[in-house]
Amino acid sequence: MGVEMESVIPLMMGNLKFGAGATEELGYELRTMGAKNVLLVADGRLWEFGLVDKVKTIIEEEGIRLTIYDEVHIEPTDVSLKHAIEIAGECANRTQTAFDAFVALGGGSTIDTAKAINLFTTYPADLYDYINRPIGKGKLVPGPLKPMIALPTTAGTGSETTPVIALELLGQKVKTGISHVNIRPAMAIVDPLNTLSMPSAVAASTGLDVFTHAAESFTIKPYNTRPKPKSPALRPAYIGANPIADLWSEKAIEWVGKYLRRSYLNSDDIEARTYMAMGSTFAGIGFGNAGVHIPHALGYPIAGMIRDWIPPGYDIEEPMVPHGIATVLTAPACFRLTATANPERHARIAELLGASVAGLSPMEAAMELPDAIIRLMKDVGCPNGLAALGYNETDIPAMVEGGWKQQRLLVGSPLPVTKEDLARVFQESMELW
């Protein structure tokens, strides 16, 4: 008997409220959940825009006890998460009552920090217990977490809709993740007005992340090419390309093509910021379901191995690579590599980004995609390749090893990849134009 292949497509998602002014409904939602003691995890830099005060007032007006944690580290690390979990635990002990709900206000780093606090204060464990294999023990989350509402203030990570926590392990200089369906926030309140405070460099990098999420989930290995899991509990969080995820991903790519340049150029362009916020959420639903593959896998060593590059336009003093930059830098070379696996899908992405593909064969049209991505990157001020971040050819072997560790993501590659393929991708990504 042959192996029975997967035939089920679950669409697991939290509740969603989208639109200008949706933030005002946070109090109502918390009351409906029966929340009495809430921890608000906020990006400390949002105080100056009045956003933290605004959310604080909305929660307190419901008569809910509120504690605020605002020491979020941009691009969370094992150290920053342990600190956050510890402080949250101490706050709960001091008040003698555990938090019964969590609110996150910020970008992906803030939302991921809140997810980690929720997970580790609900089911205490060593950080490595839940980290994905082979780096961690890949332990399954034992049960449901406390309700969490995420209010994103950037438009990219889609973290408000995903079951993943991304973190860097400082000792190993590697980025990895914790993923389990129960980690997904119960609700996302996506209010485009909250993204107007986003500086243009952040709009660019998070918007490029929207693109890679959607393009990778649209091209990832299909769900029905993998054996059926022995039990639903063993089905991977990323199930592979499927017709349901496709809908969300295609729409997100279309909006990135139409609105990312405008969102980058003018932070007051409410229409562009609205569509990028919606695109981010759509891509989050698409990739939170289908998954991402090579560009995201390679984004881990690109971010983890950085030496002294500080991203321009970011209010930050330590070297780091914004996640969207780390993932998009190899995207042109990755899609050149994977085009043969499914030329029609690669061509469709090029078309959605505005490339003219009329009259071309599917393969010719697919090969328009790398250039279409490069044009977009150039227009939104993205660094010109890995060399611009200070990397050179001697870094490639270590980068390949770092990418190779992300087997959880590489299994989704549309075609089998070797270490030599990854080395070529890094080589082609040193300078893009």
Binding site for Fe ion (CB under 5 A): 209
Nearer Cβ to Fe ion (160/209) = 209
As measured in angstroms, the least distance from the Cβ of 32 to Fe ion is 31
Minimum CB separation of residue 177 from Fe ion in Å reads 10
Nearer to Fe ion, 209 or 368 (CB): 209
CB nearer to Fe ion: pick between 64 and 188:
188
Instruction: Rank residues 23 and 162 by Cβ distance to Fe ion and give the closer one.
Output: 162
Residue number with CB closer to Fe ion (23 or 219): 219
Min CB(158)–Fe ion separation in Å: 7
d(CA 206, CA 43): 16
DSSP 267: T
Residue nearest to Fe ion (CB): 209
Closest to 398 in 3D by CA, of 166, 75, 168, 172: 172
Q: How far is the CB of 329 from Fe ion (least distance, A)?
A: 13
User: Which of residues 43 and 209 has its CB atom nearest to Fe ion in the complex?
Assistant: 209
Cβ–Cβ < 8 Å for 303, 276: no
- Residue 213 CB, shortest distance to Fe ion, in Å, is 5
For residues 101 and 409, which CB has a smaller minimum distance to Fe ion in the complex?
Answer: 409
3-state SS class at 271? helix
Helix axes 243-265, 270-289, angle to 10 degrees: 150
Q: In the bound complex, what is the minimum distance in angstroms from residue 209's beta carbon to Fe ion?
A: 4
3-state secondary structure string across 154-207: CCCCCHHHCCEEEEEECCCCEEEEEECHHHCCCEEEECHHHHCCCCHHHHHHHH
Distance between CA atoms of residues 14 and 10, nearest Å:
13
Residue type, 149: I
Whether 121 contacts 127, CB under 8 Å = no
Q: Are strands 187-190 and 164-169 parallel, antiparallel or unpaired?
A: unpaired
CA distance 35 to 202: 33
What are the b/e assignments for 119-129, b being 16+ CB within 10 Å?
bbbbeeeebeb
CB of 157 to Fe ion, least distance (A): 6
